[in-house]
């Protein structure tokens, strides 16, 4: 067992406090430097993380605003387009005829003005549906603005669409429009990778 006098002889002057011992003091100094360095690195990492999160939030916010603006522009453009206005008028008039739209699914009527008008209306609905799925158009704005119209147009178009699918053996014809109408009726969002569509 070493007594204080022997400790003093072996390790130099001992002032009664371990913190003043050269070896301990050196170790404590190294620890303090490491802690300070770690704190600085942690602060840098935290700042970088916060900046990254803010940047991602900014991108998402801009994407949402751009999508809403694109939706409003699309709806306004469609309502002001003369061809679309005329096509919608013809579409509605044809639904009041005996037999509805189904008679225009026949091959001999494929190139008629009536069928061109029907296709213009249905293709616009297809485009809106695809735009929603890929994050280019906002479903909630479309729902508030045209929910009733979309459901009604699909109801009128069903006989025509089913006849086209059967004649052309194309079960996916106007499928996107059908999905759009279903989202409106069931109040559901389309299945898509939300974060991917928000960012890209």
Angle between helices 22-80 and 82-95 (to 10 degrees): 70
Q: Is the per-residue pLDDT at 26 higher than 50?
A: yes
Average pLDDT for residues 26-39, to the nearest whole number? 64
Q: Which residues contact 115 (CB under 8 A, 6 or more apart)?
A: 104, 109
Among residues 113, 116, 128, 115, the alpha carbon closest in space to that of 79 is found at 128
Strands (E), 91-190: none
pLDDT recorded at residue 66 = 84
How far apart (Å, rounded) are the C-alpha atoms in residues 82 and 52?
46
Q: For residues 185 and 181, what is the distance between their CA atoms, to the nearest angstrom?
A: 6
Asked if the model's pLDDT at residue 1 lies above 70, the reply is no
Residue 78 has a CB neighbour count (10 Å cut-off) of 17
Judged against a pLDDT cut of 80, whether residue 14 lies above it is answered with: no
Token pair belonging to 22: 């050269």
For the record, the structure tokens of 86 come out as 């005329």
Query: Mean pLDDT in the chain?
Result: 81
> For position 51, what pLDDT does the model report?
72
Domain boundaries of the chain, sorted by first residue: 66-199
Model pLDDT, residue 129 = 93
Q: Give the range among 10-19, 109-118, 125-134, 178-187 with minimum mean pLDDT.
A: 10-19
* From 7-11, 21-25, 86-90, 131-135, the region with the lowest mean pLDDT: 7-11
pLDDT at 195: 45
Instruction: DSSP letter for 21, please.
Output: S
pLDDT digits (tens, 9 = 90+) for 112-158: 999 999 999 999 999 999 999 888 899 999 999 999 999 999 999 99
């Amino acid at each position: 067992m070493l007594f204080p006098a022997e400790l003093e002889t072996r390790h130099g002057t001992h002032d009664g406090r371990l913190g003043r011992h050269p070896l301990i003091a050196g170790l404590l100094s190294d620890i303090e430097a490491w802690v300070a360095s770690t704190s600085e690195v942690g602060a840098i990492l935290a700042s970088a993380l916060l900046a990254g999160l803010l940047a991602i939030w900014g991108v998402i916010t801009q994407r949402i605003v751009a999508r809403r603006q694109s939706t409003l522009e699309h709806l306004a453009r469609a309502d002001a387009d003369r061809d679309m206005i005329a096509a919608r008028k013809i579409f509605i008039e044809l639904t009041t005829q005996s037999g509805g739209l189904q008679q225009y699914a026949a091959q001999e009527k494929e190139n008629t003005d009536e069928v061109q008008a029907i296709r213009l209306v249905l293709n616009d609905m297809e485009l809106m549906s695809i735009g929603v799925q890929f994050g280019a158009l906002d479903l909630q704005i479309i729902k508030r603005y045209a929910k009733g119209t979309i459901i009604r147009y699909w109801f009128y178009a069903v006989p025509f669409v089913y006849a086209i699918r059967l004649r052309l053996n194309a079960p996916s014809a106007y499928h996107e429009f059908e999905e759009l109408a279903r989202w409106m009726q069931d109040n559901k969002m389309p299945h898509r990778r939300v974060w991917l569509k928000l960012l890209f």
